[in-house]
Amino acid sequence: MNWKNTNNQRLVKAILALETETEAERFLRDLMTENEIIEFSGRLQIADLLTQKTPYSKIEKVTGFSSTTIARVSQWLRSGEGGYQPILDRISSNHHATLSRLRKR
């Protein structure tokens, strides 16, 4: 992947410029088709389930994705660029922090 490509750099900068969930939702919807959003969000769900040691057969049932897609995500988790894990950690801790704040109310 050539991250020095001007268009690729611009995309990364655009993502980093997003400030709210609403902005992110609107940007992603304008950028991608509904099916692409479903595909990418599904891959994130697969990565999350794999880090929880969920068996492929259960992931297939829960997500509807093929074992081939699950294996591909698993490979990226093991030997990719390391992009999934920090994001999974952040959204998991944000989710737990939000739940804690809601419980205190």
> Which pLDDT tens digit goes with each residue over 41-94?
999 999 999 999 999 999 999 999 999 999 999 999 999 889 999 999 998 876
- What's the CA gap between 48 and 60, in Å, rounded? 13
Q: Distance of CA 17 to CAs 24, 26, 68, Å?
A: 9, 13, 34
Look at residue 3 and give its three-state secondary structure. coil
Say which DSSP state 80 is in. Answer: S
CB 47 within 8 A of CB 77: yes
**pLDDT, position 95:** 53
**pLDDT, position 66:** 96
